């Protein structure tokens, strides 16, 4: 058999259903999947090179020549075609089942795979090699007449298949003569033939995604990119609780051979709020409702400061540790489990939560809109925002070794008070309107006085500072300043001069705890494009946006960072931030639908 080629880049596709997410490489190998949920043990961890080998689910084609891959349009169903050197073609169809039945969503912790001969007489070998305890050991395995069972730490994983079990169990090569069907999931007996179940599940799942996409309010231009980004964001929400992860992976470095390797499989309140706002703009409001449920369950009955990040199961402690059993992405360790950001002070989180909830009080389409009681539950967050707006924190970039009164954090504290005033006005609560407008006004005046650097002609990243960071590009989008305010225009232009390199932006350039940044932070480039359009430089913004779209991987997905030199993807994947930026910029830049008439 020909060994699969190791992908030099993050040429990965995502399949999932709100209960699990799996990454599939360009040759159809499942190389990353945590079980039984996004934050669980990575049974499939080949992406991070387990020292034992394995950690994947592959279909090897004898005399492999090349592969091609695509999503079925407007779905999360992935197709991979593997070609051999003799004209043989094998097609893999991978997906996680999701559809509506019995008044709820059917979304089991399950991956389905169909293997089909398209042409020729291909010979294949099936390899299913999950690992346990972060790649440290091979799990115990048992089998029956039509299934294999793997005893993982948190679940028993069962493969039910109509492929000859001995050939799967012993990884023996064989001639593919007819369709094979694989159901990988909990240790439960299927109540119907595996081929019937898989065909039914595929139809239902395709129908679900196409119906979901049909009701998105997408822009006229760049529809494919926006739709793929929207589906990707949807797949990063863990629906049991409503939490939204920043990405599905851990420890893909921000740049080659850098210690900037972090675990992103948790819910940052800031990142999740950006996801909610982007999906709201597309009309996909269910994610907002589920996320607000997560927030209120998180803080129910407590009045305490918010952490910047929590586990998807409401965990508050996310102890960070290195994992020695995994060599890392392309051998670039360390691999980390957990994230110390949970101990940091990041004061923008209060504004993030209030912003995420605001539409609940104004959108008349919702079955359960925000009410006065919900408003009262948000008010303590506004009080904390006001109390902390001029206090040092780690900022949204999570500096580990320094603290300042960061401008973005203070502006988000202003946003919390400003939106509470608007919500109070919605209910005619005159006294609360005046109260929150007063609070917002105090913060705004302080920011304008302390963060504006008159000598340099731009806002600074921190009170009394001189440096720039890309979060200042959001001042107009947040409503803190109008886009035509000379101070905002001056800040955008300064950021373009100092942080932009070619068609991409650094988030900041000053050295931090780990040295100077090396790669661009993709959402910052989208923020810059959006700000260019807002200040009237639309042709320049459109051209830059088109070039940035070319940096997506072949399936339209983005990681956290891009190399300035060659556009290679770096950082955790797929990154919700990046896809949020794409959606918001596309909506700003697109010609109106009336142009299509």
Q: Which residue has the tokens 């949920």?
A: 37
Strands 123-129 and 174-175, bridge-based pairing = antiparallel
| pTM metric for this prediction | 0.95
Q: What is the pLDDT of residues 436-467, one digit of tens each?
A: 999 999 999 999 999 999 999 999 999 999 99
| Residues 272-289 pLDDT 10s | 999 999 999 999 988 988
What pLDDT, on a 0 to 100 scale, did the predictor assign at position 401? 66
Domain 12-212: give its CATH code: 2.70.98
- For the chain, give the percent of residues with pLDDT over 90: 85
DSSP state letter for 222 = S
Q: Where are the domain boundaries for CATH 2.70.98 in the chain?
A: 12-212
Q: Which residues pair with 133 in a beta bridge?
A: none
CB neighbour list of residue 223: distance below 8 Å, 6 or more residues apart: none
Residue 167 and residue 502: Cα distance in Å, rounded?
52
Local structure of residue 350 (DSSP, 8 states): H
CATH no., domain 215-596 = 1.50.10.10
**Is the pLDDT at 427 greater than 60, yes or no?**
yes
C-beta of residue 320 within 8 angstroms of C-beta of residue 309: no
- Please determine, for residue 580, whether its predicted confidence score (pLDDT) is greater than 60: yes
Instruction: Determine contact, residues 389/414, Cβ cutoff 8 Å.
Output: yes
**Choice between 301 and 134, residue whose per-residue pLDDT is larger:** 134
Q: What residues are paired with 104 via a beta bridge?
A: 101
- 399-418 pLDDT, tens digit per residue, is 776 789 999 999 999 999 99
Q: Where in the chain is the domain with CATH 1.50.10.10?
A: 215-596
Tell me the per-residue pLDDT of 508-551, one tens digit each, with 9 for 90 and over: 887 777 677 788 999 999 999 999 999 999 999 999 999 999 99
Confidence check: pLDDT of 43 > 90: yes
Alpha helices per DSSP H over 67-192:
165-169
Tell me the C-alpha distance between 404 and 391, whole Å: 8
Q: Which of 19, 1, 214 is nearest to 123 (CA)?
A: 1
């Amino acid at each position: 058999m020909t060994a699969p080629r190791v992908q030099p880049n993050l040429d990965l596709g995502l399949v999932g259903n709100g209960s699990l997410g799996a990454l599939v490489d360009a040759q159809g190998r499942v190389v990353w999947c945590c079980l039984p949920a996004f934050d669980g043990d990575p049974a499939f961890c080949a992406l991070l090179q387990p020292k034992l080998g394995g950690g994947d689910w592959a279909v090897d084609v004898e005399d492999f020549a090349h592969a091609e891959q695509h999503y079925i349009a407007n779905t999360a169903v992935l197709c991979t075609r593997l070609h051999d050197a003799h004209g043989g073609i094998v097609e893999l169809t991978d997906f996680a089942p999701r559809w509506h039945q019995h008044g709820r969503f059917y979304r089991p912790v399950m991956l389905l795979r169909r293997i089909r001969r398209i042409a020729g007489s291909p010979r294949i070998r099936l390899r299913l090699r999950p690992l346990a305890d972060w790649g440290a050991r091979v799990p115990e395995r048992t089998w029956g007449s039509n299934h294999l069972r793997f005893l993982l730490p948190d679940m028993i994983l069962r493969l039910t298949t109509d492929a000859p079990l001995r050939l799967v169990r012993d990884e023996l090569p064989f001639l593919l003569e007819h369709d094979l069907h694989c159901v990988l999931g909990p240790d439960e007996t299927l109540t119907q033939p595996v081929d019937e179940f898989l065909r039914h599940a595929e139809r239902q799942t395709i129908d679900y995604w196409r119906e979901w996409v049909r009701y998105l309010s997408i822009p006229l231009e760049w529809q494919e990119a926006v739709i793929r980004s929207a589906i990707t964001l949807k797949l990063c929400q863990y629906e049991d609780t409503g939490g939204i992860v920043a990405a599905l992976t851990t420890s893909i470095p921000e740049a080659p051979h850098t210690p900037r390797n972090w675990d992103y499989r948790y819910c940052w309140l800031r990142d999740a709020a950006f996801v909610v706002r982007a999906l709201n703009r597309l009309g996909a409001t269910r994610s907002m409702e589920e996320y607000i449920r997560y927030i209120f369950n998180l803080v129910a009955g407590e009045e305490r400061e918010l952490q910047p990040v929590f586990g998807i199961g409401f965990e508050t402690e996310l102890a960070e540790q290195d994992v020695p059993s995994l060599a890392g992405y392309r051998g670039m360790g360390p691999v980390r489990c957990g994230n110390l950001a949970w101990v940091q002070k990041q004061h923008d989180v209060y504004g993030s939560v209030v912003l995420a909830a605001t539409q609940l009080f104004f959108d008349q389409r919702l079955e359960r809109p925000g009410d006065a009681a919900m408003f009262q539950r948000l008010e303590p967050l506004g009080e904390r925002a006001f109390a902390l707006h001029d206090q040092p924190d780690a900022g949204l970039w999570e500096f580990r070794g320094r603290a300042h009164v960061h401008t973005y954090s203070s502006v988000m504290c202003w946003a919390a008070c400003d939106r509470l005033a608007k919500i109070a006005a919605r209910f005619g609560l005159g006294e609360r309107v005046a109260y929150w407008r007063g609070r917002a006004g105090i913060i705004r005046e302080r920011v304008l006085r302390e963060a504006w650097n008159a000598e340099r002609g731009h806002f600074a990243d921190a009170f009394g500072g001189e440096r720039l960071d890309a979060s200042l590009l959001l001042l107009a989008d947040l409503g803190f300043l109008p886009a035509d305010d000379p101070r905002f225009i001056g800040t955008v232009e300064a950021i373009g001069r100092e942080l932009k390199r070619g068609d991409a932006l650094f988030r900041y350039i000053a050295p931090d705890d780990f040295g100077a940044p090396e790669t661009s932070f993709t959402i910052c480039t989208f923020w810059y494009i959006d700000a260019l359009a807002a200040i009237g430089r639309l042709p320049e913004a459109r051209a830059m946006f088109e070039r940035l779209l070319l940096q997506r991987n072949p399936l339209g997905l983005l990681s956290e960072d891009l190399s300035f030199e060659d556009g290679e993807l770096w950082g955790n994947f797929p990154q919700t931030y990046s896809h949020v930026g794409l959606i918001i910029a596309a909506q700003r830049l697109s010609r109106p639908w009336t142009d299509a008439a």
